[in-house]
Amino acid sequence: MKDGHRTGGVLELVGFRLEGEEFGVPIRDVREIIRMQEVTRVPRAPDSVEGVINLRGQIVSIIDLRRRLGMSPKEKDRDTRIVIVELEGELAGFVVDSVTEVLRLPEDRIEPPPDMVVKQEYVTGVGKLEDRLLILLDLGKVLSEEELCRTGRS
């Protein structure tokens, strides 16, 4: 029972929770993880865009990942985090219920998403951990190019 310990055979992921399910994104895309903070609303932004924050002098769009993925809203609490990612040279923040851990997942333990998965374009695979499954997301596909480039900008 080899665990895919070959060169390039292990993905490093940041794990987080949404609506009780565990998700993961490649650690190379994650710039930092911050606590929830006050977000400035942006008029006429899509429902899933909470607004913008000032992150050390840089304006960052904040997206409610629950809403974007069609999940029910949830009150923010002490576990709520914003995962700041860099996508196509732009920063974006995704609000998640909680961040769980950094994981190393052998590529041979990742299956393609089932054909019946809704919004499959966001899901790149399903990772099989010891006693649970991890849904792998492509956050670049979660945002449209227009949202990525123009949210919070005039």
> Would you say residue 79 has pLDDT above 70?
yes
Contact (CB, 8 A) for 10 and 22: no
Percent of the chain with pLDDT over 90: 64
Which residue segment(s) compose the domain that 88 sits in?
10-150
C-alpha closest to that of 80 among 117, 113, 47, 38: 38
**How far, in whole angstroms, is CA 75 from its chain's centroid?**
18
3 found inside a domain: no
4 found inside a domain: no
What letter would DSSP give residue 152? T
56 found inside a domain: yes
Q: Please tell me the pTM assigned to this model.
A: 0.84
**How far, in whole angstroms, is CA 29 from its chain's centroid?**
9
The total number of structural domains that make up the chain: 1
Tokens matching residue 115:
């054909």
49 found inside a domain: yes
pLDDT digits (tens, 9 = 90+) for 60-73: 999 999 999 889 98
Distances (CA, A) of 67 to 63, 93, 104: 8, 14, 28
Q: Where are the beta strands (DSSP E) in 3-144?
A: 10-18, 21-26, 30-35, 49-55, 58-64, 81-87, 90-96, 98-106, 110-111, 123-128, 133-137
State residue 149's pLDDT score: 46
54 found inside a domain: yes
Q: Indicate the residue type of 119.
A: K
pLDDT digits (tens, 9 = 90+) for 91-109: 999 999 999 999 999 999 9
CATH number at residue 93: 2.40.50.180
